[in-house]
Amino acid sequence: MHKKRCCVKLVLATNNRHKIEEIKAYLTTVEILPRENFDLKEEGETLRENALQKARLVAVKAGMWALADDTGLFVDALDGRPGILSARYAGEQATAQDNIKKLLKELEGLSFEKRGAHFETVVALVHPDGREITVSGKLNGTIAEKSSGREGFGYDPVFWISSFRCTLAEIPLEQKNRISHRGKALEKLKTVLATKFFGV
């Protein structure tokens, strides 16, 4: 007789309601609990460092498993910028529209073929006892010349997916989760959730 595995419960270390929506839509077998409004800083030099920093803080404060992610947009023609500074590319208080405006201005005049880019997400899962794991996912695309679509957030309105002939912001959430950088990372995380990593 197999011993029944306990339900995994975790706290999401993010203030971004759009990320929370995507993660909850993907990790349907996990009980995700609300958290207090912790001050989540990103002081690392890589996506992985930032994700771990946030997850470690919330794991210790909440006394349970915590999940955090960090995502960056890396544009070839800009030597990888905005990268880890994607959320605050146009300034600490910048809106998504501010960031997109700056990005499009910097790419102004470049042909479609030279506007290659990729999204990368690193997801960190941390327990206060020191157990932790990170997984990542990438999505290749091209920066469009103008925004289009209302389904996504961040840089989604200018991230063109050639195979769909539209931007990420024009793809419904369920479909986006199957192809996106965050979806790929969460798919790997689901595999981890099915292992003995968490114990019973």
Assigned token pair, 62: 């909440």
146-183 pLDDT, tens digit each:
999 988 789 999 999 999 999 999 998 888 888 999 98
Q: How high is the pLDDT of residue 196? A: 54
pLDDT value of position 199: 46
40 domain residue, yes or no: yes
Q: What is the mean pLDDT of residues 127-156?
A: 93
Q: Quote the CA–CA distance of 76 and 182 in Å, as a whole number.
A: 20
Assigned domain for 3 exists: no
| Amino acid identity, position 114 | K
Q: Is the dihedral of CA 104, 46, 123, 11 positive or negative?
A: negative
Residue 1 lies inside a defined structural domain of this protein: no
Which CATH number characterizes residue 62's domain? 3.90.950.10
Whether 111 is in a domain gets the answer: yes
**Domain span at residue 156?**
9-198
Whether residue 2 is contained in a domain is answered as: no
- Region 1-24: mean pLDDT is 71
* 16 in any annotated domain: yes
Flag whether 88 is in a domain: yes
Mean pLDDT over all residues of the chain?
Answer: 87
Residue 69 catalytic? no
Catalytic residue, chosen from 70, 79, 98, 129, is 70
Q: How many CA atoms lie within 13 A of 67 on its CB side?
A: 27
Whole-structure pTM value: 0.86
The tally of domains found in the chain comes to 1
